[in-house]
């Protein structure tokens, strides 16, 4: 088996970055405000991003900065200024798509490793080789490639890092190069009435997720009639792709020569990050320790605790021209909700609340290495040190946790409290 790949997690903000590392990520990717393809994520201010790089390096981890929009001439000065800033803070890599950004990075951030985003649609060994000749250190492969295609690229270009998405949302677009978002949200381009005139370009980080809408068919002379779009029994969501999940096939990706396993989701919650990262970390570590697959029912259940669409293996094994990857419905599935995160650990731990919490709730404490503890009893104290039976998400409280044998549980910082939600 090849060497163990990097586990790369999304970091929509500083808090999510710390959670990702706590649950086992080797590296994270983050975006500078308004200049990455998740402009509507929390993202980082420059001050926070600088601090995030220092924090990441202090714990021996890696951080990559996404500057992967396709920019127009009026944004040139913004891009130049951003590249200069990235050079100043010295992350472990700069993720970009636009050849113009690549040229500016070579000029203004010559010591920062260049990663070519999946948005660049690197589909073959010749494109990968060309990007390598232009100074790139890593290619984030197009999501339309099969395992066999990746093997061919690896064999042809052995001395460049290859990164592939292993989990998360997929777009109905070519590696995310989408024109639908702009068209469907702007009156001037033929979009719906009532939507403002700002062009919401997915290629500039402002995706409207219009491929998740439920569509109907209209005929111009029958404007008041809607004709349902169907695809066999799959319903009307013909543009809504299934989520990718490769946790049962990591060995194939390793043997194909993938260096970094990427989890999608900079706009996802810390519940998503904690659950997905710890599951992949556990499986990847056990795979190398035991030299055999180890995806258990517990792991599969863990992947289902957070909101997601139906899972698939994307294009790694199937031909998209013969096997559709669309969902049967727009429904997102989940069965737990986030309650709180430990921000100061101890016998009486301080927690940050995200939802209402009651001592009658069914609660799990989760940590790294797949640590999951059923909480039998919880003692909560408010800011006046008074014992309370329930608290709202705006409150900051301390808690004592007891397990099934009524022993005190001592959590770690960034451990998560989850509540079974039943939906």
For residue 171, the SS3 value is coil
Domain that holds residue 402: 336-420
Residue 393 lies in a domain: yes
Whether 290 and 407 map to the same domain: the answer is no
What pTM does this model have? 0.84
pLDDT at 309: 77
Whether 406 and 308 map to the same domain: the answer is no
pLDDT at 250: 96
Whether 95 and 184 map to the same domain: the answer is no
Whether 166 and 184 map to the same domain: the answer is no
Nearest-angstrom CA–CA distance, 301 and 305? 7
Whether 148 and 266 map to the same domain: the answer is yes
pLDDT band at 217 (very low <50, low <70, confident <90, very high): low
151 in Cβ contact with 256 (< 8 Å): yes
Of 205, 228, 251, the one marking the end of a domain is 228
pLDDT band at 235 (very low <50, low <70, confident <90, very high): very low
Whether 346 and 287 map to the same domain: the answer is no
How many helices (H) and strands (E) are present in the chain, helices listed first?
A: 10, 23
pLDDT band at 206 (very low <50, low <70, confident <90, very high): low
Whether 26 and 85 map to the same domain: the answer is yes
Whether 131 and 248 map to the same domain: the answer is yes
Whether 211 and 79 map to the same domain: the answer is no
pLDDT digits (tens, 9 = 90+) for 6-37: 999 999 999 999 999 999 999 999 998 776 65
Whether 130 and 13 map to the same domain: the answer is yes
Whether 194 and 301 map to the same domain: the answer is no
Nearest-angstrom CA–CA distance, 364 and 362? 7
For residue 102, the SS3 value is helix
> Which is more confidently placed, 136 or 310?
136
pLDDT at 211: 62
Mention every residue, 6+ apart, whose C-beta is less than 8 A from residue 357.
Answer: 339, 340, 363, 378, 380, 390, 391, 393, 417, 419
Residue 287 lies in a domain: yes
Whether 84 and 219 map to the same domain: the answer is no
Residue 319 lies in a domain: no
Q: How many domains does the chain have?
A: 3
Question: In 3-state terms, the chain is what percent helix, strand and coil (to 5)?
Answer: 30, 25, 45
CB atoms within 10 A of CB 297: 7
Q: Assign residue 367 the CATH number of its domain.
A: 2.40.30.10
């Amino acid at each position: 088996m090849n060497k163990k790949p990097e586990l790369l997690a999304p970091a929509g903000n500083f808090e999510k970055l710390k959670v990702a590392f706590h649950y086992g990520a080797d590296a994270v990717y983050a975006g500078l405000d308004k200049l990455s393809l998740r402009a509507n994520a929390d993202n980082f201010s420059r001050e926070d991003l600088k601090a995030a790089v220092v924090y990441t390096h202090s714990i021996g981890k890696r951080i990559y900065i996404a500057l992967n929009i396709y920019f127009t001439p009026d944004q040139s000065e913004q891009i130049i200024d951003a590249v200069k800033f990235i050079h100043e803070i010295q992350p472990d890599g700069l993720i970009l798509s636009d050849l113009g950004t690549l040229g500016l990075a070579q000029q203004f951030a010559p010591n920062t490793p260049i990663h070519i985003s999946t948005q660049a649609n690197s589909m073959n060994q010749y494109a990968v080789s060309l990007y390598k000749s232009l100074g790139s250190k890593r290619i984030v492969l197009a999501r339309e490639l099969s395992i066999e295609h990746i093997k061919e690229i690896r064999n042809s270009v052995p001395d460049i890092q290859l990164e592939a998405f292993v989990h998360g949302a997929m777009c109905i677009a070519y590696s995310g190069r989408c024109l639908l978002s702009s068209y469907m949200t702007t009156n001037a381009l033929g979009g719906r009435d009532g939507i403002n005139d700002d062009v919401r370009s997915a290629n500039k980080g402002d995706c409207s997720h219009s491929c998740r809408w439920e569509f109907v068919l209209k005929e111009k002379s029958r404007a008041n009639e809607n004709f349902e779009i169907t695809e066999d029994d799959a319903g009307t969501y013909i543009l809504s792709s299934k989520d990718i999940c490769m946790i049962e096939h990591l060995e194939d990706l390793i043997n194909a020569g993938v260096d970094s396993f990427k989890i999608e989701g900079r706009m996802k919650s810390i519940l998503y990050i904690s659950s997905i990262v710890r599951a992949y970390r556990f499986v990847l570590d056990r795979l190398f320790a035991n030299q055999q697959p180890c995806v258990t029912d517990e792991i599969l259940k863990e992947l289902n605790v957070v909101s997601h669409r139906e899972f698939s293996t994307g294009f790694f094994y199937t031909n998209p021209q013969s096997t559709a990857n669309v969902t049967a419905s727009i429904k997102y599935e989940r069965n737990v909700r986030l309650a709180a995160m430990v921000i100061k650990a101890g016998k009486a731990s301080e927690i940050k609340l995200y939802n209402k919490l009651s001592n009658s709730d069914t609660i799990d404490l989760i940590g790294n290495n797949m640590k999951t503890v059923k909480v039998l009893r919880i003692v909560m104290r408010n800011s006046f040190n008074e014992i309370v039976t329930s608290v709202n998400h705006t409150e900051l409280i301390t808690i004592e946790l007891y397990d099934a044998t009524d022993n005190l549980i001592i959590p770690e910082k960034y451990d998560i409290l989850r509540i079974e939600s039943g939906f």
